[in-house]
Structure 1
Amino acid sequence: MTDVHPVSIWDRERIWVTVGATALIFLGAIEALAVTTVMPVVSEALDGQALFAVAFAGTLATSVIGMVACGAASDVRGPRGALYTAVTLFVAGLVISGFAFTMEQFLIGRLVQGLGAGGQTVALYVVVARLYPPHLHGRIFAVFAAAWVVPSMIGPFLAGAVAEFLDWRWAFLGVAVLTLIAFVTIAARLHGVDLGGGNALSVGRVWLRLLLALVVAVAAVTVGLAADLPPSTGWPTAVVAVLIIGFAVLKLLPRGTLRAARGLPSVVLARGLIAGAFFAAEAYIPYLLMEQFGFSPTWSGVALMLGALAWAGGSALQGRYGEALGNHRIAMTSIALILVALLAVLVTALADASPIVIVVSWGLAGGGMGLIYPRLNVLMLAYSERGNEGFNSSALSISDATGSAMAVALAGLGVATLGGGVHAFPVVYAFCIALVLVAAIPGLRLGHAAEAA
């Protein structure tokens, strides 16, 4: 009788890829969250307060370029080289930032790091497409989601402790060392594995995509910086930048995305709208709790932990029962949970009710995000063919990044226009509710790609 070994993301063929890839995503998330904590210390130490915002916005800009470059490279030559290059850039950026003695040097590191961070995620998605059978995609993306969510609970605390008791530089150099270890783990297993190539893209087409990615990146940063301008200047600047993004992004997304065509275009559009609604709302949860309900900064951050835990739980549920639940049910359940949470926060802010409602509600929102985020990854790969997984993966990541950046910036402009204060919060959450309602349109048009083979 033949000994049959069950196929899973933890079997002998895939365990070290699973471990290494999950570690890379975990460390990328740790760094992204940690830098928010240590940036005030960095800007003071390097006398770079004037470049504080650019250190964040610049990384976003180069990450979009990295997404497109690694997507194209993965489609042409396979994801191995793209992944190796992206990790190298990510580590190099961390080292440059960690050893910087001026804010300009630190900024260069952040720009290089962004190239690697954006490309790394896209390349890992293509590795999943090439190495894992379709029925395991839900499981691996659930693990990836948990690897991103867990750092949201421990990353800021660890970064603060490192900056306070060691040196802020170790918040970058320490992640660089750990990233190299994780990279060796996955590279050793991928060595010699046929990850294939695919479509032969013309040089002109690749350069056009990179140019458009640069335009999208600069416009997205402009929207972000517009939030710091006076409303009379900020709104026209933001509107023009959003229009530029809408025009430039057409060639970087599947045809029919902006009109919510059925299938892959709706998957990509739903990702951007849901990401924008959730992250714009979450950005103002601590502000709301401190300004209106007298929470301390520490406790306002702790209030978000329930949402993070629920996200991890929702991801695990999707990974185990996603096929049984189905795309339509997952999408509508997720959108309903996020919508109920946003409505509860809005009513609480208007009625000055108990802040416990906000904390519990954000758990519902996190659970909704945990259900739908990895499912959209699964659907993206299900709609992909060998040779275009890189393009589709970069499209999903670009929609995520630009949707989040634009929504947060527009919410910030709304708050600035109203002069801040407690009366501005309802506007933010009404805006996010509108985004979720619009997301229901592509949510109903995700289709039923053959996720399980």
Structure 2
Amino acid sequence: MTATAEGVFSPGLRLVTIGLLVSVGIVAFDGLGVTTALPAIASDLGGMTTYGWAVSALMLASVAGTVIAGFLADRHNPRGPYLAGFGIFAAGLTVSGLATGWALFLLGRVIQGFGVGAILSMAYVFIGRVYPPELQSRALALLSGAWTVPALVGPLAASVLTEVASWRVLFLALIPIVGVTMIMTTRGLPELGSSMDAPPTGVRQRLAYSVLLAASAAVLLFGLEQRGGVAGAGLTIVGLVGMFLGLRHVLPAGTLRLAPGVPSGIATRAVLSLAFFGIEVFLPLAMTQMRGASLFSAGLTLAAGALVWVAGSMAQSRHEQRTGSHTRRGDSIIGLVTLSLGIGIIATTLFVPALPIGVATLGWAIGGFGMGMAYNATTTETFAQTEPAAIGAMSGTIQMAQTLATALIAGIGTAMIAATRSVDGSPDVGVAAILSLTGMLALAAIPVALRISARCTRPAKAA
């Protein structure tokens, strides 16, 4: 029986499928586990003043890793960047897991980020080049589902391991799994050569501007942390100019001015990420330092948000199936308002000691449900506005926008906390600023999301 007839777990594809699923699962567990354990890691290594860089460093490096690995895969062979990505990721895990100081830990996160970008981008390349067309949608669905289990289990497992053993286990225990996964996947891969004789026009330029974008974002965040002064202002301006130039060349025309259709879809994805992940990154810190909650409680809260995100996505999908695609606009609004409500409940719980901390978990569950609805509705509508031949490129662009937004909000939140931290070290004022900013962003996304389904526009082409 052929691989096509048997599916993605047929003998010819089984090792590749399992390897790709585990690859994504490892990356997801690493990201979510570190977010949960970050208060303990930063406290242990003296990194509270630059807390968010543990997320920003990985995310910005992954942007560069994604575009570099994709370029090398097209020019040579995707097996090479994939193996290199695993090797780099394992090296980063080792550096962070054995770090004796915060600077060394962040260096490990940068190294991990390059590996993460290569692994994830090559996973999609393999689906496009190894699986027959009739199985690619199924493989993509499985790859998306590979985030679900780590999202539910990762925060809880990370909190238990950190409190019972050490946060270092979160990094070091993944290294042998990385090695087994790398061997498993590559053994099942057929021989793959270059997909092109020469890069198409603009590929090298896009690569350069993508790297410029990541580097400029890092400069901007570093400038914001200088708390004023000529040096801080200069770095901030340089970072903003570099980001503007990079975004102009890597995003579809009209994105920066929120043009109707796909440009607004990409902008909505970025604003959604700013709102949701801005809370997710700092919620464990706020719960443990402001209300004395345990890491397990923080992990339970993040897991609840992930669980109901899935539920919100399913609810939106079923609603659309019953009533038609015209419901996406309304679902987007409901989702964004619900996300804002969840943020409001979290803020109230953190600053009203009479309320049990469990109310924050309920608040993030409500916010996660809203995120699931808005995320699903706006993303589906964005793809509906995209030409079929450009969907692959558009998917990468949307993912890059989300990654960049997450890195930015983590860095901006860190700068807010550092600038407003009280004499006793309390992050209360900074957390309040982050909550206010993310709540406003969730509401600000509503008019942008409504511009996605501008039926008068033509389907977008790849940038």
Asked whether the two chains share a fold, i.e. TM above 0.5, the reply is yes
Aligned residues: 444
Q: Secondary structure at the match of 2:256?
A: coil
Rounded to whole Å, the distance in 2 between the matches of 1:55 and 1:321 is 38
Shift of 1:23: 1.0
Asked if 1:274 corresponds to 2:279, the answer is no
Cα shift readout 1:31-68 (whole Å, capped 9, x = no counterpart) = 12223455566567667778766554333332221111
Deviations 1:204-225 (A, max 9, x none): 952x444433332233234444
SS in 2 for 1:20: helix
What value does the CA root-mean-square deviation take over the aligned residues? Answer: 4.7
Corresponding residue SS for 1:198: coil
Counterpart residue number, 2:209:
212
Return closer, same or farther for 1:55/1:277 CA change in 2, 3 Å cut-off.
Answer: closer
Once the 2 structures are TM-superposed, how far is the Cα of residue 105 of structure 1 from its aligned partner?
A: 4.9
Shift of 1:27: 0.5
Of stretches 270-279 and 312-321 in structure 1, the one that deviates more from structure 2 is: 312-321
CA shift in 2, pair 1:122/1:373, >3 Å: farther
Paired AA for residue 198 in structure 1:
M
Could you tell me which residue of structure 1 aligns to residue 71 of structure 2? Answer: 72
Evaluate the alpha carbon distance shift between residue 261 and residue 428 of structure 1 in structure 2; reply closer, same or farther with a 3 A threshold.
closer
Counterpart AA for 1:213: S
Which whole-Å CA distance do the structure 2 matches of 1:235 and 1:435 have between them?
Answer: 28
Deviation at 1:393, TM superposition (A): 5.3
Instruction: Give the distance between the partners of 1:311 and 1:272, measured in 2 at CA.
Output: 17
Q: Which position in structure 1 is the counterpart of 2:301?
A: 303
> Equivalents in 2 of 1:48, 1:293: separation in Å?
20
Question: Residue type of the partner of 2:400?
Answer: I
Q: CA deviation at 1:334?
A: 4.3
Task: Name 1:432's counterpart in structure 2.
Answer: 442
* Aligned ranges 1:183-262 → 2 under 5 Å: 183-192=182-191, 194=192, 197-198=195-196, 200-201=198-199, 206=204, 208-225=205-222, 228-230=225-227, 241-260=239-258
Q: Which runs of 5+ in 2 are unaligned?
A: 421-427
| CA deviation map 1:430-450 (0-9, x unaligned) | 23321343233236579779x
Distance 2:97 2:370 in 1: 35
Q: Gapped runs of 5+ residues in structure 1?
A: none
Say whether residues 1:123 and 2:86 are aligned partners.
Answer: no
Distance 2:258 2:79 in 1: 32
- Aligned residue for 1:303, secondary structure, equals helix
Higher relative contact order (CA 8 A, sep 6+): 1
* 3-state SS of paired residue (1:441): coil
Bigger mean CA offset, 272-281 vs 323-332? 323-332
What is the distance in 2 between the residues matched to 1:392 and 1:23? 25
Q: Distance in 2 between matches of 1:75 and 1:319?
A: 35
| Map of 2:408 onto structure 1 | 406
Superposition map of 1:16-415 within 5 A: 16-38=15-37, 54-77=53-76, 79-100=78-99, 105-132=104-131, 139-192=138-191, 194=192, 197-198=195-196, 200-201=198-199, 206=204, 208-225=205-222, 228-230=225-227, 241-260=239-258, 265-283=263-281, 298-314=296-312, 329-330=327-328, 333-343=331-341, 345-346=343-344, 355=359, 358-368=363-373, 371=376, 375=380, 383-384=388-389, 389=392, 392=394, 394-410=396-412
Query: 2:42, 2:48 within 8 Å by CA — same for their partners in 1?
Result: yes
In the aligned structure 2, how far is the partner of 1:376 from the partner of 1:112?
35
Deviations 1:132-179 (A, max 9, x none): 466655544443333224323332333344445545443222212112
- Any idea what SS the aligned residue of 2:199 has? coil
CA shift in 2, pair 1:225/1:136, >3 Å = farther
Of stretches 395-404 and 259-268 in structure 1, the one that deviates more from structure 2 is 259-268
Cα displacement string for residues 75-101 of structure 1 (whole angstroms, at most 9, x for unaligned residues): 334533332222222123223434556
